[in-house]
Chains A and B, each alone.
Chain A
Amino acid sequence: MSQSTTDPRAFRAPPRRPLRLSWSDERVRGIVWQVLVVGLLGAVVWWLWSNTVHNLEVRRIATGFGFLRREAGLPIAESLIEYNPTDTYLRALTVGLLNTLKVAVVGIVLATLIGTLVGIARLSRNWLLARLAAIYVEVIRDLPLLLQLLFWYAILQGLPGPRQAMQPVAGIFLSNRGLKMPWVEWQDAHSFALLAFVLGAVGTWLYRRAALQKQMQDGQPRRLWPVALGAMVALPLAVWAAFGAPWTIDWPELRGFNFRGGMTISPEYFALLLGLTLYTAGFIAEIVRAGILAVPQGQWEAAQALGLHPGQVLNRIVLPQALRVIIPPMTSQYLNITKNSSLAVAIGYQDIVSIANTTLNQTGQAIEGIAIIMLVYLTISLSISLFMNWYNARIALVER
């Protein structure tokens, strides 16, 4: 009986093949090559390191990051946090990092939106729309980004001066000093209202998921718009009102040769954002188009034949299959937009590279300056990669 239930072969350990010390043995070759490559890499790193240390000693160049605490004395035109030239290098570099993030994050969001729309437009059955999208993609992809940035910056510099500023809408001024517009005097009430809006948006999204889950169980569709209206409009308004509903508008005014007050979008930031966004959107459009085309026509037809609406076909059948083709190259584009933002130097936008460059010129500590730039980009890039890989794994499809 025991013979029939337990097959002795099932418990046998896999055979262990003895290592044969011969160049014709595949495993021996593998080990030798690995040892050689690692050894060579180690030697190169050691040589670079010792050479650097030696040369720094000979030239008596100070090393270390002590300079970060010294006064920077470098003026920065635009900053998200308070800054003046008497602050430290560390603060100056932080301003640069925030400026890089400001252009990268907004650029990623806008490029994704524009790219997706253009990609879908290129697949449109509307002849004119499809052709326009195709022309956009071909032109944008074929010209170097640096050239495009200089082009946009030149156009913005060609605008009239502040005294002759264009005024498309009362209170909004467009000149070679950038775009000036009225803005509320920011107070706690506004911050809390914004927070309420973000929470409301997340809440609406969670409600939508739960509502669809419930519909699956009982077949009853639930209205989304009353919840969305309440959470994303009524709630922030209530919070704002609870704080006394402050509402003071700060209008831009011409004083002497420039404007005072209001909010400013500098020509440097605007040109960089415009150039990066339009350039990357061209690539994203092609990625989106490829992703949608990767889903066979038969999938659309089968879903339609079952009576699913266009939105349901897209959400439940096409997008899940398209996204796995779209996400990996999309990650690359997000990394590109972040790293390409370093071209800011060319048009005088003070991002991390620009400020680190000035820093290393003033302090003479080139290695530390370069190390900081590398560390910053590596950190941002790895964060994007990690997030996108997590997202990719989450939406990964099981097919077997």
Chain B
Amino acid sequence: MSETLEHIASAARADAPPAIVLDKVNKWFGTMHVLRDVSLNVATGERVVICGPSGSGKSTTIRCINRLESHQEGRILVNGIELTDDVKALDDIRREVGMVFQSFNLFPHLTILENCTLAPIWVRRMPKKEAEALAMDYLTRVRIPEQAKKYPGQLSGGQQQRVAIARALCMKPKIMLFDEPTSALDPEMIKEVLDTMVGLAETGMTMICVTHEMGFARKVADRVVFMDRGEVVEMGTPAQVFENPQTERLKTFLSQILRGH
């Protein structure tokens, strides 16, 4: 990527309000302290990749952003709305935040098209025809419109994950969360999903992605966050984090990942 393009893009975003603010977030599972003072600001249109060893709290962090997990200390603001026990605020946030899971989680009893139109019809109250047109549009963008009438069980893993991305996009979210979207896929299917995500990144979507795909991180991430044992250890541009790690923990992690590749 050229330096100038990157510069223009970040300048354009500078005055926009932050999409996500995590301020000293703490969380415990029972007595286990899984998030320790996690603070992170994500600007509108920014693409952030979170990496780290398993059990480092990266999935828990993004699951707190749409309250699939609730935090116990600190503040989380999404598009300026604070996440609390307030159900109305939660509704507003979930409508604007799409999520893609490691295990796809498509609804097996609904067709691909029904998977995509479910939320627009019943949450956005969109007429069925309109919702279907929208769904077909997104299915075309992820390059599987011909599968619309099939059921999730008939699709390959990569296709299922692309449907899951289309399903989330049908709600026209402002923010997309990806929780290890390629970890459950066979190697030959990883690329098709990553390509879809790169395409999405090019549209200017605010994205937070938990992944170990270094190539993807280098290509699209504005910032890479390295987490370990529930803490944010390092944070910077892909070049800074991957080329010039400051801490022993990140160095160990990078060497392990690179050895795996």
Contact = CB atoms under 8 A, between A and B. Distances in A.
Contacts of B242: none
Interface string A285-318: 0000000000010110111111111001000110
B108 interface: yes
25 contacts: A215-B121, A216-B128, A219-B125, A219-B127, A220-B125, A298-B101, A299-B105, A299-B107, A302-B105, A302-B107, A304-B66, A305-B66, A305-B68, A305-B97, A305-B99, A306-B118, A306-B123, A306-B168, A307-B91, A309-B91, A321-B108, A397-B109, A398-B151, A399-B109, A399-B151
B173 to A, nearest CB: 9
A308 B122 contact: yes
Contacts of B171: 306-307
B95 A217 contact: no
B117 to A, nearest CB: 9
B218 interface: no
Interface in B109-166: 109, 118-119, 121-130, 151-154, 164
B94 interface: yes
Interface string B164-186: 10011001000000000000000
A299 B101 CA distance: 11
A328 interface: no
A14 to B, nearest CB: 28
B122 A217 contact: no
B98 interface: yes
B119 A306 contact: yes
A221 interface: yes
A309 B152 CA distance: 23
* List of 3 A-B pairs having minimum Cβ-Cβ separation, nearest first: A302-B105, A306-B119, A298-B105
B70 interface: no
Interface in A216-236: 216-221
B196 interface: no
B118 A304 contact: no
B127 A305 contact: no
Interface of B: 66, 68, 91, 94-95, 97-99, 101, 103, 105-109, 118-119, 121-130, 151-154, 164, 167-168, 171
B153 A305 contact: no
Given A305-B98, A307-B95, A320-B109, A298 B118 contact: no
B59 to A, nearest CB: 12
A16 interface: no
A400 interface: yes
Contact of B122 (A302, A312, A320, A321): A312
Nearest to A324: B109
Given A219-B127, A308-B122, A316-B118, 8 more contacts: A216-B128, A217-B127, A298-B101, A305-B66, A309-B91, A398-B151, A399-B151, A400-B153
B128 A217 contact: yes
**Quick one: which of B99, B108, B153 has the most chain A CB within 10 A?**
B108
Listed residue (B94, B106, B107) with the most chain A CB atoms within 10 angstroms of its CB = B107
Contacts of B151: 398-400
A221 B108 CA distance: 26
